[in-house]
Amino acid sequence: MHDLDGNGITGRLNYDQSVDFIKSTGRNNYLLGFNDALHNDLDNYSPKIDGVETYNIMGCGRPAIGQIFVLNKEKSGKYEYGLKYITGDGTVPLRSAEALTADDSYYVKGVEHAVLPGALGVKQIAAAILNDTIGSFSLQNYPAISHNSADCSLNGTQISFHSPIDLNVYDEDKKHHVGPNQDGDIEIGIEGAQYDDLDGNKFVFLPAGHNYQVVGQATASGSFNARVQTVQDGQYVKTVYYNQVPLNGASTTVQIQINSGQTAGSIEIDQDGDQILKLQ
């Protein structure tokens, strides 16, 4: 166990210790305080407490950040982070959305946070609630919506690259891409995928049922670590770890093939940009 910020605390941090660590590593103290105040007002309240009939419509089945942890501190002073995805709507974890006390709950699978209000079936549920016909409303024509949270399981593959290297993923047809584009913006062209970058630690979640090609482009010489983790029903069941893979320079590229239902293959490297890949 490492004491990463020199405060004498090691191991898994509780909430207050996590906030202290975030502050000590240069994050926004004002927003952290604002977040505490907001949640203190909201977390223990539901309109149902005041006698208001309450329905909870939640997105699920998409990856949302559930846990961030520090793996180690590099010689450069930077941190190597780990990240765990849990089921949610890509922004709000389901376990947070479920905190609202409601008369009835609806789970909408595969719909991301921003478009949840306009998803097929959600507007119809809202109209039935407002028209007081929700008691006879049927979900038969809306297979993505259910009353059962068990339908919200998360399945797929998580990939993480730890700098100095960019992380890109392409689907089996090479038509869809996840990762930085030529403008430096993050493109998420694969439905159900998620991309996050934490201080140079890059993470991608890819939904199950497809083949993917993972491509890394070095941004400097050195070495990098990579993890390919299999997620089944929300559980991380298998990890393939690539340790201290050498990068000769910014011309170095690496590739990993991930086939549906199989463990990730060997890593292939083109160290000098001649387009010839060799097994590491």
The answer to whether residues 165 and 265 belong to one domain is yes
Chain position carrying tokens 């109209």: 127
Calculate mean pLDDT across residues 190-202. Answer: 94
Q: What pLDDT was estimated at residue 130?
A: 96
The answer to whether residues 187 and 276 belong to one domain is yes
The mean predicted confidence, pLDDT, of the chain is 89
Domain boundary among 124, 153, 182: 153
Confidence of residue 275 (pLDDT cuts 50, 70, 90): confident
List own/partner pairs for 78-83 with CB under 8 A and 24 or more apart.
78/163, 78/199, 78/200, 79/4, 79/25, 79/199, 79/201, 80/162, 80/201, 80/225, 81/198, 81/199, 81/201, 82/160, 83/158, 83/160, 83/196, 83/198, 83/201, 83/203
Lowest mean pLDDT among 3-12, 198-207, 234-243, 264-273: 3-12
Calculate mean pLDDT across residues 90-100. Answer: 93
Which residues span the domain enclosing 233? 155-280
32 assigned to some structural domain = no
23 assigned to some structural domain = no
Share of the chain above pLDDT 70, in %: 94
Domain boundary among 153, 169, 200: 153
Q: What pLDDT was estimated at residue 2?
A: 60
Domain boundary among 153, 185, 218: 153
Is a pLDDT exceeding 80 seen at residue 194?
yes
More confident residue, 98 or 79: 98
Calculate mean pLDDT across residues 190-216. Answer: 94
Confidence of residue 160 (pLDDT cuts 50, 70, 90): very high
Structure tokens at 10: 């090691």
Q: What pLDDT was estimated at residue 75?
A: 66
Calculate mean pLDDT across residues 93-107. Answer: 94
Alpha helices in the chain (DSSP H): 15-24, 29-42, 94-97, 122-130
The pTM of this model reads 0.86
Q: What pLDDT was estimated at residue 140?
A: 94
Q: At what angle do helices 29-42 and 15-24 cross, to 10 degrees?
A: 160
Is a pLDDT exceeding 90 seen at residue 134?
yes
Evaluate whether 56 touches 104 at the Cβ level (below 8 Å).
Answer: yes
Is a pLDDT exceeding 60 seen at residue 1?
no
The answer to whether residues 130 and 118 belong to one domain is yes
Is a pLDDT exceeding 90 seen at residue 133?
yes
Tally the domains of the chain. Answer: 2
Q: What pLDDT was estimated at residue 280?
A: 64
The answer to whether residues 146 and 191 belong to one domain is no
Q: What pLDDT was estimated at residue 110?
A: 94
The answer to whether residues 148 and 165 belong to one domain is no
22 assigned to some structural domain = no
Structure tokens at 243: 């340790």
Q: What pLDDT was estimated at residue 45?
A: 82
174 assigned to some structural domain = yes
Alpha-carbon gap, residue 65 to 55, rounded angstroms? 25
Is a pLDDT exceeding 90 seen at residue 65?
yes
The answer to whether residues 74 and 164 belong to one domain is no
User: Helix, strand, coil proportions of the chain in percent (round to 5)?
Assistant: 20, 40, 40
The answer to whether residues 116 and 180 belong to one domain is no
Q: What pLDDT was estimated at residue 4?
A: 61
Burial class of residue 2, CB neighbours in 10 A (0-12, 13-18, 19+) = exposed
Confidence of residue 76 (pLDDT cuts 50, 70, 90): low
H or E stretch covering 168:
strand 165-171
